[in-house]
Chain A
Amino acid sequence: MLKKFDPNIMAFLCNWCSYAGADLTGTSHFHYPPNLKAIRVMCTGRINPLMVAAAFRHGADGVLISGCHPGECHYMEGNYLARRKIFVFRNLLEFVGINPERLQMSWVSASEGKKFSNVVKEITEKIKKLGPLTTFDE
């Protein structure tokens, strides 16, 4: 029997909003697919897009970056800076032939446990449809 594709999704969650939001998802017993591997960062503004590229190269099929809603960053503007960088990097990925849908971003606050579980479900479905990332296999 053909093995079902189980995607590897790497998530970079901001300490102040999305990581706490993910925690709430757990304590509230909302279910979400176990494909997500979470890494806590202090702020989405800290994420160097090379970390995303490195995640892809080391076997991730998708990457999620999640942080505070615009205007609610613990450091005032980190998420705005992240949005700019990730937007440009998605365009670059698309230009070299990697589907930009593999790099997703979301705003999840510490009180949005339900939203976090929905985001993860949706992204996992998306990546399942796209199939494994084979660009970095050779």
Chain B
Amino acid sequence: MDKEKLVNEAKAVFSREDVACLIGYGKDSIGFRVSPIFIRTRDEADQLFFSPLCSLSLVNYLTLEKGVLLEGNKETGGEKIAIVARGCDSRALIQLFAERGIPREQVVILGVPCRGTIDLKKIEGKFPDARNCTEVTEAEGMYYIRFDNESHEVPKEELLADHCKHCAFPNPLVYDVLLEDLVDSKGAAYSDIEEMEKMALEERHEYWKDKFARCLRCYACRNACPLCYCDDCILERVSPQWVNRSVNLSENLMFHLARSYHLAGRCAGCGECERVCPVNLPLMLLNRKLEKDIKNIFEYTAGSNLDDKPLFASFNPKDPNDFIF
């Protein structure tokens, strides 16, 4: 992606709009890591960049800037926040606009059509010694990686984050400025989910038992999720206590049932939960399983339309009834 265009558009946003802050991607000081950066003046915009390494979602930071967005702007006098958003981020934004009542015009969206992002765990596993000046560009199914005077070529498939492989919305669905030409969408793919559905019930149970037994209950998946924003989270509440603090299989299962069910019809598919998981649980499998069912049966896709009513706040008299006595 053209850095110059990104920086120029960011500067234009600052001169054109009453923008208090721009949330974008900046380079971290080590290896392949990327940091969120908060730009408050026009000149700072030079630090912005975008590359396939930008795998984190910035939407979470938007709701952390509560003072500006959610408190009615009493002190800031109607200032706006600008954010760099990929396809999945734009879906999360649409959900937030609908659920939290954030006025659409409070957020200036710099839309980035996304060709998929790199899984940091994969690339660091491949090049553990990369320290300085890393740079990754993409062309024709290959990643060109340069660091410390070395350069490498790696096929895209080897480093692509898992959730990006199944992405159906690479283009931002809502934006004020588009930074690149739109890219082709392959459409949603659920082949891995269908594969799992074919397994016997006991087999699937064993699979998840093995996974959930590893869960540390660090709550990182919840904290990183742009759509888990409740101040009073039921996963931590003591009365009533839905999930005990003890870390064992049954509590972990309860935790993951609650977490994934709360994202039913809401998950934007950004893969943050999987990205931050310290024990690499395939959490997006749960989210995408529900996404698939909801899409097939209720013809509903979370965050695809600003005017949609939330899934569980609406119904159709023709909803499936054959499982009921």
| B residues near A107, Cβ cutoff 8 Å | 324-325
Q: Complex Cα distance A57/B286, Å?
A: 20
Given A88-B265, A94-B201, A138-B248, 9 additional A-B pairs, CB 8 A:
A50-B258, A81-B315, A89-B261, A93-B257, A97-B205, A135-B253, A136-B253, A136-B254, A138-B250
The answer to whether A53 and B257 have CB atoms under 8 Å apart is yes
The answer to whether A119 and B315 have CB atoms under 8 Å apart is no
Can you name the residue of chain A whose Cβ is closest to the Cβ of B257? A53
| B residues near A49, Cβ cutoff 8 Å | 261
The answer to whether B323 and A53 have CB atoms under 8 Å apart is no
| A residues near B197, Cβ cutoff 8 Å | 95
Q: B-facing mask of A70-86, CB < 8 A → 1, else 0?
A: 11000001001101110
The stretch that binds A, out of B56-64, B170-178, B287-295, is B287-295
Residue A111 CB within 8 A of the other chain: no
The answer to whether B205 and A92 have CB atoms under 8 Å apart is no
Minimum CB–CB distance for A8 against chain B, Å: 16
The answer to whether A96 and B253 have CB atoms under 8 Å apart is yes
Minimum CB–CB distance for A133 against chain B, Å: 11
Q: Which residues of B contact A (CB under 8 A)?
A: 196-197, 201-209, 234, 242, 248-250, 253-254, 256-258, 260-261, 264-265, 286, 289-290, 293-294, 297-298, 311-313, 315-317, 319-321, 323-325
- The range of chain A's interface size is 35 or more
The answer to whether A96 and B257 have CB atoms under 8 Å apart is yes
The answer to whether A54 and B208 have CB atoms under 8 Å apart is no
| A residues near B311, Cβ cutoff 8 Å | 84
Q: Complex Cα distance A106/B324, Å?
A: 5
The answer to whether A88 and B264 have CB atoms under 8 Å apart is yes
User: Taking A92-B286, A97-B205 as contacts, is the C-beta distance between A135 and B250 under 8 angstroms?
Assistant: yes
12 contacts between A and B (CB under 8 A): A50-B258, A57-B254, A80-B315, A80-B319, A87-B320, A88-B290, A92-B261, A93-B257, A99-B201, A100-B323, A104-B325, A137-B250
Q: Complex Cα distance A136/B257, Å?
A: 12
Minimum CB–CB distance for A46 against chain B, Å: 13
The answer to whether B323 and A138 have CB atoms under 8 Å apart is no
Q: Complex Cα distance A119/B202, Å?
A: 27
The answer to whether A84 and B205 have CB atoms under 8 Å apart is no
The 8 A-B residue pairs with the shortest CB-CB distance in the complex, in nearest-first order = A97-B205, A106-B325, A80-B315, A136-B250, A138-B249, A97-B204, A105-B324, A96-B208
The answer to whether B324 and A83 have CB atoms under 8 Å apart is yes
| B residues near A77, Cβ cutoff 8 Å | 315
Q: Complex Cα distance A55/B324, Å?
A: 19
The answer to whether B209 and A80 have CB atoms under 8 Å apart is no
| A residues near B256, Cβ cutoff 8 Å | 96
The answer to whether B317 and A98 have CB atoms under 8 Å apart is no
The answer to whether B323 and A87 have CB atoms under 8 Å apart is yes
Contact among B249, B290, B297 for A92, CB-based, below 8 A: B290
User: Taking A92-B257, A138-B250 as contacts, is the C-beta distance between A84 and B312 under 8 angstroms?
Assistant: yes
The answer to whether A97 and B202 have CB atoms under 8 Å apart is yes
The answer to whether A96 and B312 have CB atoms under 8 Å apart is no
Q: Complex Cα distance A99/B202, Å?
A: 9
User: Taking A84-B312, A96-B208 as contacts, is the C-beta distance between A50 and B261 under 8 angstroms?
Assistant: yes
Q: Complex Cα distance A86/B324, Å?
A: 10
User: Taking A97-B205, A105-B325 as contacts, is the C-beta distance between A70 and B250 under 8 angstroms?
Assistant: no
